[in-house]
Structure 1
Amino acid sequence: MESIYQHFREDEKQFIDQVSDWLRQVEMQYTPYLSPFLDPRQQFIVESIAGQYEDIKISTYGGYEAAERRRLYLSPSYFDPDQNDFDIRISEIRYPKKFADLSHGKILGTLMGAGIDRSTIGDIISDGDRWQFFADGSIMDFLMSSIDKIGKITIQLEEISYTDLILPKDSWEDRDEIVSSLRLDVVLAGAFNISRQKSKELIASGKVKINWNETDRPDTVLGIYDVVSIRGYGRLRLQSIEGKTKKEKIRLSLGVLDRNS
């Protein structure tokens, strides 16, 4: 395992152990395994480790084509899952649109406040007016019966079919960036055109998350498919490391969702 650990961050060891257990289960028992919803970095880790298993196939689905959070179906190579095997259900949030505003953070906070695990919830999407979210099929009935408010706003959760999916309005922009290192504060400063000092201040004030987890470490080294969000600025996804310049700087390919553009 040590040879696997060295390719990832220290705080990812526990997840790596979990993934290894999933893969061994599929390999030894010849039975598929359906993961919870995973963020892009976690998906990358699973696919990296699974590459060592010749007879295991990975299929992914998050409810729609551009889904960020996805469930992974690990199976013997001869097995082809269909959409139903991913057990994803969709809910639309009905609320008084003329008198209230919802946000991704308010919705997620309410869902987590119901006592469920983050890994049971997929993407939360909006077209600027309507809001929908994806969830593990096993918890949808519980959510629909237990949640009737988001903050002070009275709402109703209504399960919908895939034919009623909205088109999310957020779109990622591909951007190339040259940075001196993969440190969090350095990459944020470059991606959002702010000073490194400002980047450090945002991290220290709790406004930055890596893969939906708050961090106060400006020296965190980012890896492939890490998703970083800065409250008030937007999000970025490290898509690939393209190499180095003649001056030994690092060329990155980023996906950027700029709230201020």
Structure 2
Amino acid sequence: MSLYEHFRKDEHSFVDQVIDWKQTAEVEYRAKLTDFLDPRQQQIIKQIVGNSEEVKVDFQGGHDATERKRALFYPDYLVPEKEDFQISLFEIEYPGKFVTLEHRHVLGALMSLGLKREKFGDIITDNSRFQLIVAEEVADYIKVNFQSAGKAKIKLKPLEEEDLLVQVKSLEEKFITVSSMRLDTVIAEAFNLSRAKVKPLVTGEKVKVDWKVVDDPSYPLAKGDVLSVRGAGRCEILEMDGQTKKGKHRLIIGFPS
């Protein structure tokens, strides 16, 4: 059985990349550090590396609760330290009494700096404080060039790991029934949208599955998929709870609460 059969076609290029990283650690006997990876990419790495005796992999993203993390592939004789993950942490200082700052303002301003999204980890907030996790190799560039977000003038203050905010994730469950596992069908039921409204959202590249843009309304979904719809929110397919007598799929969907 081919390794690729375990993954979707659009994931095959990333699978090739993971194999290359693994071989670097195994053949060259040195550690290989990646950029920040989303949870699906981390899952793929764990599946490929598995219980390999020659190569190990660890993940760091600031603290255990962060979503985006860097992966470190290393030969089994090495003992990695936190410093090996080369992560810089910042608190965003801004005049909160006079302007409102939102997550989208921070992310939009960061992306306008011309750096890849993979150079940034999580943007952590409690809706008043904002903290930023970045790759150490771009930290100095960001400190110099990241001067505003939304309507706020900002400054970056170095942060220690113990001062990072920890966002506790909880999901509100919703039960839905769908005629198929097509992307447009599940989104329509999960977000109470008409199929007519969903199709242009998908084809207009405003929908992501497992953190990747998907523009095919018929894209097949599975348990564990995370869906995000611009302007509507995010949900996760927690369980596929069998079928009804008429052959429809019963799903348990989780929404951030």
**Which TM-score band (shorter chain)?**
0.7 to 0.9
Question: How many residues matched?
Answer: 256
Contact 1:128/1:169, CA 8 A, preserved across alignment: no
Aligned to 2:67: 68
Matches within 5 A, 1:67-86: 67-86=66-85
1:253: how far off?
5.7
Aligned to 1:256: 255
Aligned to 2:164: 165
Contact 1:38/1:70, CA 8 A, preserved across alignment: yes
CA distance in 2, matches of 1:68, 1:47: 15
Aligned to 2:125: 126
1:214: how far off?
3.5
CA RMSD of aligned residues (A): 2.7
- One-letter code aligned to 1:79: L
Aligned to 1:135: 134
Which consecutive residues of structure 1, in runs of 5 or more, have no partner in the other structure? none
CA distance in 2, matches of 1:126, 1:170: 13
Task: Tell me the SS of whatever aligns to 1:6.
Answer: helix
- One-letter code aligned to 2:30: T
Aligned to 1:107: 106
- One-letter code aligned to 2:129: R
Contact 2:65/2:166, CA 8 A, preserved across alignment: no
Aligned to 1:7: 6
- Whether 1:221 and 2:220 are equivalent positions in the alignment is yes
Contact 2:113/2:146, CA 8 A, preserved across alignment: yes
CA distance in 1, matches of 2:60, 2:252: 24
Q: Percent identity?
A: 41
Which consecutive residues of structure 2, in runs of 5 or more, have no partner in the other structure? none
Per-residue CA deviations over 1:140-164 (Å, capped at 9, x if unaligned) read: 1110111111244211111111122
Mean alpha-carbon deviation: is it higher for 96-105 or for 125-134? 96-105
CA distance in 1, matches of 2:74, 2:249: 37
- Whether 1:185 and 2:223 are equivalent positions in the alignment is no
CA distance in 2, matches of 1:151, 1:51: 43
CA distance in 2, matches of 1:147, 1:100: 17
Contact 2:99/2:151, CA 8 A, preserved across alignment: no
Mean alpha-carbon deviation: is it higher for 169-178 or for 48-57? 169-178
CA distance in 2, matches of 1:82, 1:173: 37
1:250: how far off?
4.8
1:244: how far off?
3.7
Task: Tell me the SS of whatever aligns to 2:6.
Answer: coil
Mean alpha-carbon deviation: is it higher for 8-17 or for 108-117? 8-17
Contact 1:178/1:252, CA 8 A, preserved across alignment: yes
